[in-house]
Chains A and B, each alone.
Chain A
Amino acid sequence: MLSYLISLSETATEAATGAVVETEEHSPLMVEWVEVAIALIVFGILFFAIKKFVVPNFEKTFEERTTAIEGGLQAAESKQAEADAKLAELEGQLADARHEAARIREEAREQGAQIISELREQAQTEAARIVEHGKAQIEAERQQAVTSLRAEVGTLATTLAGRIVGESLDDDDRSSRVVDRFLAELEGAN
């Protein structure tokens, strides 16, 4: 087939060579075996070099990139899930803390109320005690006043009575008996 084509074109160019000067001309379609061989060899070497050193590298890079992207997506997903869990946990803790705080506040309020009532009670007792004390003191003083009055009133009365009667009622024993009797009568009338 090829050689037929070549011989065909050779006759064609031979017809045309008249115009193309005197340099010896081959048909451009002629097979130059050296060139064929060199092209085969160079192509073969290039093919094996590319197959061995280029294609595996590119293919591996593409594969790695694919897995890296997929792995990245997965990692992001698990990170997201982790973050969600963490958030839920923190929210739980926050709720617990709020609960705790409310409880403590409630307790404090109860304690406060208790303290106030205790203090009030204490103050009342104290007040009562002070009032009691005051009453006792007053009673004592009254008693004292009564005693001293009794003596003084006796003296004054006998002195007054003596002046009125004109006789000395300096006889102490007697007069004091009279006074006592009088006072006892007064008390008895009371």
Chain B
Amino acid sequence: MSVAGIVGIAVPASGGGDEFVAPGPGNFDLPAVFSIGSIDVTKPMLQLVLAAGLVFAFLFFAARKRAMVPGRLQFAGEEAYSAVRNGMGRDIIGSHDFKPYIPYLITIFFFVLTNNLFSSIPFIQFPTFSRASMAYALAGISWLVYNSIGVRKHGLIGYLKLQCVPAGITGPMLLLLVPLEFLSNLLIRPVTLALRLFCNMFAGHLLLILFSTGGLYMLQNGTPFVQGAGIVAWILAIAISFLELLVQFLQAYVFTLLNAMYIQGALADEH
């Protein structure tokens, strides 16, 4: 059993002394699984749907029983739900007005987490958000959500003032700070949200491909010394897999946390 098999990607170098082909962005352009009309349905698209189904099934069945003394499933669901609800919703947005945003934060966290974890689940082994467009979509939603919350609460002018004019600053400093604040609070945020998620997933997966295919190539084509290095590469690939698990969770956490903070910022009365 090869690590490449475990990591689950096609090995570009088919052994036998060929030139080693380093993995690249091309590894993320998966072929269509099937096509509907002119739309090619690819694996990450199916993963999105699968993740949504899994998340909903888990939460729905955990929430449905509504027992006062919860069983195992309900307990697990309540713990996970409460962690997001209290840890990110209540503690950041504030206990006064976090309630309407619970469904949004819950959806974001579990959806991103599940899609990230797909990267480490056997036979799936592909991070959905290594497709940048999907990360763009979520970041776009986040941008719309926090800005519309702010505009609805403060009005367009009030909201722009809230986001762009730092409190306690007067005079010519405003000329410098207002454009900067505008840029960072209203334009850069969605970009960083999307890129942070995408880059972490992309890079982690690339690293795993590199270590596993490189290790295989060294084992097949190297001198005994190089073969030893190949084994080390595989051991590292396993270690990196565990590191990736942490990154996958962290990225889901950070994405949700930032959403909560942006919402809090849009609701705030002052900076």
User: Are B111 and A61 within 8 A (Cβ)?
Assistant: no
Taking chain A's interface residues, is the majority helix, strand, or loop, or is none over half, making it mixed?
helix
From 9 to 65 in chain A, residues with beta carbon under 8 angstroms from any chain B beta carbon are 13, 19-21, 23, 25-40, 42-43, 45-47, 49-51, 53-55, 57-61, 64-65
Q: Is A1 an interface residue (CB 8 A)?
A: yes
A/B interface sample: 7 pairs, CB < 8 A: A20-B22, A29-B198, A34-B39, A38-B48, A40-B140, A49-B56, A57-B66
Taking chain B's interface residues, is the majority helix, strand, or loop, or is none over half, making it mixed?
helix
Shortest distance between the CB of A183 and any CB in chain B (Å): 125
User: Are B103 and A51 within 8 A (Cβ)?
Assistant: yes
With A38-B45, A43-B141, A54-B60 as known contacts, state yes or no: A68 contacts B68, CB within 8 Å: yes
With A45-B52, A53-B60 as known contacts, state yes or no: A1 contacts B25, CB within 8 Å: no
With A1-B191, A28-B202 as known contacts, state yes or no: A39 contacts B68, CB within 8 Å: no
From 45 to 76 in chain B, residues with beta carbon under 8 angstroms from any chain A beta carbon are 45, 48-49, 51-52, 55-56, 59-60, 63-64, 66-68
Question: What B residues does A55 contact at CB under 8 A?
Answer: 63, 102-103, 106
Q: Is A2 an interface residue (CB 8 A)?
A: yes
Question: What B residues does A43 contact at CB under 8 A?
Answer: 52, 107, 111, 137-138, 141
CA distance A37 to B136 in the complex (A): 10
Q: Is B44 an interface residue (CB 8 A)?
A: yes
| Cβ contacts B104-137/A at 8 Å (1 or 0 each) | 1011000100000000000000000011111011
User: Are B137 and A35 within 8 A (Cβ)?
Assistant: yes
User: Which of chain A's residues has its CB closest to B78's CB?
Assistant: A58
User: Are B81 and A58 within 8 A (Cβ)?
Assistant: yes
From 103 to 155 in chain A, residues with beta carbon under 8 angstroms from any chain B beta carbon are none
With A46-B55, A61-B78 as known contacts, state yes or no: A1 contacts B187, CB within 8 Å: yes
User: Which residues of A line the B interface, CB within 8 A?
Assistant: 1-2, 5, 13, 19-21, 23, 25-40, 42-43, 45-47, 49-51, 53-55, 57-61, 64-65, 68
User: Which of chain A's residues has its CB closest to B139's CB?
Assistant: A2
Q: Is B182 an interface residue (CB 8 A)?
A: no
CA distance A36 to B39 in the complex (A): 13
With A39-B48, A57-B63 as known contacts, state yes or no: A33 contacts B133, CB within 8 Å: yes
Q: Is B29 an interface residue (CB 8 A)?
A: yes
User: Are B111 and A58 within 8 A (Cβ)?
Assistant: no
Q: Is B179 an interface residue (CB 8 A)?
A: no
CA distance A38 to B66 in the complex (A): 33
CA distance A5 to B44 in the complex (A): 23
User: Are B78 and A31 within 8 A (Cβ)?
Assistant: no
Q: Is B24 an interface residue (CB 8 A)?
A: yes
CA distance A38 to B198 in the complex (A): 17
User: Are B106 and A31 within 8 A (Cβ)?
Assistant: no
User: Are B132 and A64 within 8 A (Cβ)?
Assistant: no
User: Are B39 and A57 within 8 A (Cβ)?
Assistant: no
Shortest distance between the CB of A66 and any CB in chain B (Å): 11
Given contacts A21-B12, A35-B131, A46-B107, 14 further A-B contacts (CB under 8 A): A19-B22, A20-B22, A23-B29, A26-B25, A28-B25, A28-B130, A32-B133, A40-B137, A43-B52, A46-B56, A54-B106, A57-B64, A57-B66, A58-B63
Most buried by A among B67, B130, B132: B132
Q: Which of B64, B134, B191, B202 lies in contact with A39, CB distance below 8 A? A: B134
Q: Is B28 an interface residue (CB 8 A)?
A: yes
Q: Is B21 an interface residue (CB 8 A)?
A: yes
User: Are A25 and B26 within 8 A (Cβ)?
Assistant: yes
Most buried by B among A1, A50, A57, A59: A50
User: Are B24 and A36 within 8 A (Cβ)?
Assistant: no
